Chain A
């Protein structure tokens, strides 16, 4: 098996290197063939690995690949831990990645950076696999930052766009704030456990926690050691999985091409935090403080980021806020100790959210790179595949019974309800309200894009008015990502490479839970991988409900609150934006203060910009000017040089050249000497 694991990781890496370094030589077809082949190999082998571990019950594999360094007896290694959790992540990552690779052939067809793009997404796949397959904290951190790097490169893929290169730096720096906490967490692990190896640390954790060690933060403040570790690690998850207040980078990351929004900023990378906390469950279970912190942060993200989805008009940003909100759901599940539910939602979400993003991308391509949903409408008859698959994805997202999202979301809600961790009451309110909000923004977008009146004719005219139809325009198009604007408002025909991935992603979005809800949520799929303390077992109630199988579980839905909340959300969306569009305007006018707050995204960006970005630059400026230039160089260095100079000027005056000055000096000196000798005795 070792060779298979290694091949899974290396195949995408070779593809990336080939497309990246020899892109010119192998050409466009060569680049996408090489990378797709690499990822396809990884995907096929991942399915095999999943089959072996998840179905045939092959025991977990945990071994070192090579030794990174050994210092003072501490072995730092690169190695793989492959168990059911890893295997599931590997399938999710490689399969979504494969779909995105295929889709990219169509989406990036006109782009100059075609090979570069394929190289990056394959490199991403490699990095993400390194992250999920790691058996130690060092390699975890490597993968963690490597996916961040590729995310940075891809958000800024169109490096001429000022918004894109602003967004990518913002994403990297905000993620680094998270990584700061993450690194502190890792350092804490090393301090207390003397090892960075998962197995060693997890094995030692329960006994170690009984010692109740603390960290002396100041003379009077002590923090519990385990909470320091868990909260530090979780701050890393907050950056990567975009939890409030470190969520600010994710909406801006939509500046990147849509395929990577689907792959990195919806399906895989942003869920790394959720995966990591689930992996660290043996540690998190020991700290109720950390779990409370996790559940409160997650709940806040789940609800309050959902609100923002309602007021967005950019199709990608609606999906982005939806992603933030759904990540919040996953994190809430972690906080409620329902790690399996969080990870299960991670999987279902990966499929339906990648589907929704790729669907949004298809709409964008068809609409000649228009992203404003106010300028769409009635698209259902122009793109039936996209319409149907987007409907399926949206139904999965809002938790319609029998769809995959229903099982994962319902499990989370029930688990939070059953949880008795501090903060779970607040979280329960948030996740319930979130169900209504999710349905509302999802179907607002769905209706505005695919139904209602066709508004793109006016929009398109307007667009053409702005950008005339000439050679300059074509050049503009080839230089940036814009496609051809040749026809008058008629949506583009979509190639099969774009529609096929939609269909292939729609299938698991609907059915994946039919097979895996029971083993993952109620069975022992995660046994020995995810540890839940007996007193935290909030998923027990879900297991009870799943006893009669997945069909009965879904049939029971109309007896539950979330079902009606979701239905109410869809109905409200229909009523406001389809039936009676004036209501939206009236509501907006009546609730002006709320609307302003939402449009400004609770002012997070403004505060960050003013306080941290401008503040740092101002601080740097002050230190540079007053510290280095004025104090050290001005006063001390050049000051002492000047001082020597001034002293020399004064001393020079003594050498006047007049004999009587010297004679006078000698006589005075002699008198002083005699006087001193006289009085000394």
Chain B
């Protein structure tokens, strides 16, 4: 057993690093000190994940690396600084720490103004996001959850595009609106349970009516974050205006907060309501897959297109979770596990793929200063290396087997068939629609004759850009060819969740 408070280190190292970057380095040497300091901090954070990974016990669904100390009390209720990870949160902490390194590298030559503030904002966000995933106290979770909005708000608002004010306000109001309901639900339950510990809340029996209310409150908070149809329209706007790094973090990690919320709160806390809501949730997920797929097809802005494709892909996550409930009700336990695992794999995979897609768009944007598909054409002629890497990510986005994009979708579709034939039919349309929007964009941007003088002058990716894309490419392939390295981390926790979900929490049941 490790004696280091590993999770605390993962939360606070980036935040302390951020303070050093901000106040220690500042804009000295044109911000180059700040950049190096940020890179070192992000690398240390990533290095801290190594003992987390190697020390993680694959046999237990229990919380590991636990930390507990009282924080403060209100009217007899103690709010603890309680951290811990299980199979759901540990991979997401790895993902967050990994993506942070990429994001720091991505901003290296691109951000020219307020470099130290930019880097600091990302580092703070990393710490807070790790905090969200590690928090085992509902109030601590809520604090991290809300605090996380601030750096993202600043990133879009300061380094964003021309319409950034509209986008930030929309983003902020949407997500803030959602979390208020969550706060109410948390406080209500904490009073009932006499504890803010999330694990205690998992055990709290509640009538179906109460569960409905609790479920609905969480749903509003998490659905906005995922985002689920119909509360998704903030995402394309936020992406379009965000700088590349912002888009990467938003797509790769922030969206996962919503789906993480579902497995951490909705499903175990309100299993009876979850079952009752399953049909609605499945319907919304399928709308996200089909409807949003068609909407993505006609986007003219590359970032919007990838943003919509993100929504469609996140639809598979929610589909997987709630299909599992339908399956548990009919005793298809294996397929239920497949649904949840597929959803979880899809979360991590989407982190890699959407991050990579936004980086690719960023690479083009840095050179041509346009995100319009129509402004490109024939990029492969001038940027062959870039074209090859983007091909891989495009195919991963289209769910090609051998890439990570396939694994989650495959599992969820297989599970969906066992729940209902039509779920699978609708979900599997992504095979066609997803390929259509991904490849059509690739065709218009990368293939063809050199379209204009901007494309003719393009220079292929430099070593820095190549490095970050290759690292992501390796991640995409590794997860696609050997998903066991991820699924085995999560399997005990998934099994535990399914057992918990099977047990009714109605009083007297």
Contact A159 B447 (CB under 8 A): yes
Contact B337 A187 (CB under 8 A): no
Whether a CB of chain B sits under 8 angstroms from the CB of A169 is: yes
Whether a CB of chain A sits under 8 angstroms from the CB of B212 is: no
Contact B418 A632 (CB under 8 A): no
Most chain A CB inside 10 Å of its own CB: which residue of B439, B487, B488: B439
Measured between beta carbons, the chain B residues less than 8 angstroms from A159 are 380, 446-448
Contact B402 A146 (CB under 8 A): yes
Docked pose: A74 CA to B295 CA in angstroms: 36
Bitwise, A595-636 to B at CB < 8 A (1) or not (0) is: 000000000000000000000110111011001100011001
Contact A176 B413 (CB under 8 A): no
Given known A-B contacts A160-B449, A633-B233, A68 and B484 have beta carbons under 8 A apart: yes
Measured between beta carbons, the chain B residues less than 8 angstroms from A183 are 410, 413, 428, 431
Measured between beta carbons, the chain B residues less than 8 angstroms from A160 are 378, 381, 447-449
Q: Which residue on chain A has the smallest CB distance to residue B495? A: A72
Partner-contacting stretch, out of A188-196, A403-411, A415-423, A467-475: A188-196
Neighbour of B487 across the interface among A70, A176, A191, CB < 8 A:
A70
Q: Which residue on chain B has the smallest CB distance to residue A78? A: B481
Whether a CB of chain B sits under 8 angstroms from the CB of A141 is: yes
Measured between beta carbons, the chain B residues less than 8 angstroms from A619 are 294
Complex interface residues of chain B between 310 and 336 (CB less than 8 A to chain A): 333-336
Bitwise, B447-491 to A at CB < 8 A (1) or not (0) is: 111000000000000000000000000000000001110011001
Tell me if B's interface is mostly helix, strand, loop or mixed.
helix
Whether a CB of chain A sits under 8 angstroms from the CB of B44 is: no
Contact B439 A191 (CB under 8 A): no
Neighbour of B299 across the interface among A67, A191, A624, A633, CB < 8 A:
A624
Query: How distant is B474 from chain A, measured CB to nearest CB, in Å?
Result: 12
Complex interface residues of chain B between 364 and 421 (CB less than 8 A to chain A): 378, 380-381, 391, 395, 400-402, 406-407, 410-411, 413-414, 416-418, 421
Query: How distant is B317 from chain A, measured CB to nearest CB, in Å?
Result: 16
Docked pose: A439 CA to B448 CA in angstroms: 39
Contact A184 B425 (CB under 8 A): yes
Contact A71 B491 (CB under 8 A): yes
Docked pose: A73 CA to B381 CA in angstroms: 48
Interface residues on B, range: 35 or more
Contact A637 B432 (CB under 8 A): no
Whether a CB of chain B sits under 8 angstroms from the CB of A677 is: no
Whether a CB of chain B sits under 8 angstroms from the CB of A244 is: no
Q: Which residue on chain B has the smallest CB distance to residue A613? A: B436
Query: How distant is A467 from chain B, measured CB to nearest CB, in Å?
Result: 17
Whether a CB of chain B sits under 8 angstroms from the CB of A4 is: no
Query: How distant is B105 from chain A, measured CB to nearest CB, in Å?
Result: 22
Contact A70 B488 (CB under 8 A): yes
Given known A-B contacts A72-B336, A176-B435, A187-B413, A145 and B428 have beta carbons under 8 A apart: no
Whether a CB of chain A sits under 8 angstroms from the CB of B338 is: yes
Given known A-B contacts A72-B338, A194-B334, A169 and B418 have beta carbons under 8 A apart: no
Contact A180 B429 (CB under 8 A): yes
Contact A190 B418 (CB under 8 A): yes
Query: How distant is A455 from chain B, measured CB to nearest CB, in Å?
Result: 32
Contact B335 A190 (CB under 8 A): yes
Contact A624 B295 (CB under 8 A): yes
Measured between beta carbons, the chain A residues less than 8 angstroms from B414 are 186-187, 190-191
Contact B295 A71 (CB under 8 A): no
Query: How distant is A670 from chain B, measured CB to nearest CB, in Å?
Result: 36
Docked pose: A156 CA to B443 CA in angstroms: 10
Whether a CB of chain A sits under 8 angstroms from the CB of B341 is: yes
Complex interface residues of chain A between 572 and 595 (CB less than 8 A to chain B): none
Given known A-B contacts A173-B435, A194-B334, A145 and B417 have beta carbons under 8 A apart: no
Contact B484 A69 (CB under 8 A): yes
Whether a CB of chain B sits under 8 angstroms from the CB of A648 is: no
Bitwise, A108-146 to B at CB < 8 A (1) or not (0) is: 000000000000000000000000000000100110111
Measured between beta carbons, the chain A residues less than 8 angstroms from B68 are none
Whether a CB of chain B sits under 8 angstroms from the CB of A179 is: yes
Docked pose: A191 CA to B420 CA in angstroms: 10
Contact A173 B439 (CB under 8 A): yes
Tell me if A's interface is mostly helix, strand, loop or mixed.
helix
Complex interface residues of chain A between 38 and 86 (CB less than 8 A to chain B): 66-74
Whether a CB of chain B sits under 8 angstroms from the CB of A559 is: no
Query: How distant is A475 from chain B, measured CB to nearest CB, in Å?
Result: 14
Docked pose: A160 CA to B294 CA in angstroms: 27
Q: Which residue on chain A has the smallest CB distance to residue B295? A: A624
Query: How distant is A332 from chain B, measured CB to nearest CB, in Å?
Result: 28
Whether a CB of chain B sits under 8 angstroms from the CB of A360 is: no
Contact A628 B295 (CB under 8 A): yes
Docked pose: A214 CA to B293 CA in angstroms: 31
Given known A-B contacts A160-B378, A190-B335, A632-B233, A71 and B411 have beta carbons under 8 A apart: yes
Measured between beta carbons, the chain A residues less than 8 angstroms from B411 are 71
Bitwise, B138-179 to A at CB < 8 A (1) or not (0) is: 000000000000000000000000000000001000000000
Query: How distant is A594 from chain B, measured CB to nearest CB, in Å?
Result: 33
Query: How distant is B448 from chain A, measured CB to nearest CB, in Å?
Result: 6
Docked pose: A74 CA to B407 CA in angstroms: 14
Docked pose: A176 CA to B436 CA in angstroms: 9
Contact A169 B440 (CB under 8 A): yes
Contact B432 A190 (CB under 8 A): no
Measured between beta carbons, the chain A residues less than 8 angstroms from B487 are 69-71
Most chain A CB inside 10 Å of its own CB: which residue of B298, B336, B488: B298
Measured between beta carbons, the chain B residues less than 8 angstroms from A215 are 421
Measured between beta carbons, the chain A residues less than 8 angstroms from B395 are 149
Docked pose: A141 CA to B413 CA in angstroms: 14
Measured between beta carbons, the chain A residues less than 8 angstroms from B341 are 69, 71-72
Whether a CB of chain B sits under 8 angstroms from the CB of A172 is: yes
Whether a CB of chain B sits under 8 angstroms from the CB of A340 is: no
Contact B448 A70 (CB under 8 A): no
Q: Which residue on chain B has the smallest CB distance to residue A145? A: B401
Whether a CB of chain A sits under 8 angstroms from the CB of B70 is: no
Q: Which residue on chain A has the smallest CB distance to residue B298? A: A620
Whether a CB of chain A sits under 8 angstroms from the CB of B284 is: no
Whether a CB of chain A sits under 8 angstroms from the CB of B79 is: no
Query: How distant is A547 from chain B, measured CB to nearest CB, in Å?
Result: 45
Measured between beta carbons, the chain A residues less than 8 angstroms from B432 are 173, 176-177, 180
Whether a CB of chain A sits under 8 angstroms from the CB of B76 is: no
Given known A-B contacts A72-B337, A187-B417, A623 and B440 have beta carbons under 8 A apart: no
Contact A627 B449 (CB under 8 A): no
Docked pose: A183 CA to B233 CA in angstroms: 31
Query: How distant is A114 from chain B, measured CB to nearest CB, in Å?
Result: 14
Whether a CB of chain B sits under 8 angstroms from the CB of A217 is: yes
Contact A141 B483 (CB under 8 A): no
Query: How distant is A135 from chain B, measured CB to nearest CB, in Å?
Result: 16
Given known A-B contacts A141-B401, A142-B402, A160-B378, A637 and B435 have beta carbons under 8 A apart: no
Bitwise, A210-247 to B at CB < 8 A (1) or not (0) is: 00000111000000000000000000000000000000
Given known A-B contacts A72-B335, A179-B431, A184-B428, A173 and B421 have beta carbons under 8 A apart: no
Docked pose: A636 CA to B335 CA in angstroms: 38
Docked pose: A633 CA to B167 CA in angstroms: 12
Docked pose: A623 CA to B433 CA in angstroms: 14
Docked pose: A128 CA to B461 CA in angstroms: 32
Whether a CB of chain B sits under 8 angstroms from the CB of A162 is: yes
Measured between beta carbons, the chain A residues less than 8 angstroms from B494 are 71-72
Docked pose: A343 CA to B363 CA in angstroms: 49
Apart from A187-B428, A620-B294, A633-B233, 16 more pairs, CB < 8 Å:
A68-B482, A71-B411, A71-B494, A72-B335, A145-B401, A159-B380, A159-B447, A172-B439, A173-B436, A179-B431, A187-B413, A620-B295, A620-B297, A623-B295, A624-B299, A637-B234
| 3 A-B pairs closest in CB distance | A72-B337, A187-B417, A620-B297
Offer 7 A-B interface pairs, CB within 8 angstroms, sorted by A: A66-B482, A71-B411, A72-B494, A159-B448, A187-B413, A187-B428, A620-B297
Contacts from B to A (Cβ < 8 Å)? 170, 230, 233-234, 291, 294-299, 333-338, 341, 378, 380-381, 391, 395, 400-402, 406-407, 410-411, 413-414, 416-418, 421, 424-425, 428-429, 431-433, 435-436, 439-440, 443, 446-449, 482-484, 487-488, 491, 494-495
